[in-house]
Amino acid sequence: MGASQFRIDMAAEHPRKLGRFVLAIECDGASYHSSYTARDRDRLRQQQFENLGWRFHRIWSTDWFMRKEEEIQRAIKAFENAVLFADKLDRGALPNNNHANGNHREHADSGTPKHQRGPRPNVPVRTSIDQYSISELAQLLQWISSDGQLRTDDQIMDEMVVALGFSRRGARIERAIQSAIAYWRPRA
């Protein structure tokens, strides 16, 4: 599952909120993650999903083969924690940039906290881009931009695809999001 260059192995959905993904699960071997480029890419991918309010959980292949039951229990616990985190985030009880380590990310140059996203707009996840109104897409664009981070249109597109719950970017999705960006941008 993923959007554009941000791919994950599995995603867990909130048990009571259809289309609200709460946990990204990555399953890779230790040798895969030993290179600097893989670690950098994985760090950026994790950061991207956490910026959208997801939590992240890794299962290493060696741990899975050596201690399968323990890894299953860890994954269940990670899912339960992700659901609790999502509920708090959706109520506005937590900032959206609160990461797994419990720290708030800050601007390295100023030492001041980044702006925080509020709760995700009440825009349901649908199966087709054609089912979204331009207003709903604009609401999601406003929410994504509310954390104050500067993004290119391509980065906005990536975050929108993830927020909409799609597994990839197709031409129709890109056209709809570009139209929504053009509609929303004058208001931003």
**Rounded to an integer, what distance in angstroms lies between the CA atom of residue 158 and that of residue 135?**
19
Among the listed ranges 77-81, 83-87, 153-157, which one has the minimum average pLDDT value? 153-157
3-state secondary structure of 140: helix
**Rounded to an integer, what distance in angstroms lies between the CA atom of residue 123 and that of residue 102?**
27
Structural domain boundaries in the chain:
2-90, 129-187
**Rounded to an integer, what distance in angstroms lies between the CA atom of residue 59 and that of residue 61?**
6
Q: pLDDT over 90 for what percent of the chain? A: 22
Using an 8 Å Cβ cutoff, are 128 and 147 in contact?
A: no
Predicted local distance difference test score (pLDDT) of residue 113 = 41
The token pair at 35 is 């290179």
Predicted local distance difference test score (pLDDT) of residue 7 = 66
> What's the predicted TM-score (pTM) here?
0.48
Predicted local distance difference test score (pLDDT) of residue 177 = 93
What is the CATH code of the structural domain delimited by 2-90?
A: 3.40.960
pLDDT tens-digit profile of 21-69?
A: 899 888 875 555 455 556 556 666 777 777 777 888 888 888 888 889 9
pLDDT tens-digit profile of 101-146?
A: 333 333 333 333 445 777 888 888 888 999 999 999 999 998 888 8
The full length of the chain comes to 188
Please state the separation of Cα 31 from the chain's center in Å: 25
3-state helix, strand, coil in the chain (%, to 5): 50, 15, 40
pLDDT tens-digit profile of 155-183?
A: 888 888 888 888 778 899 999 999 999 88
| Backbone CA torsion sign across 161, 87, 74, 101 | positive
| Selection from 5, 3, 4, 9 nearest residue 40 by Cα | 5
The token pair at 3 is 């959007």
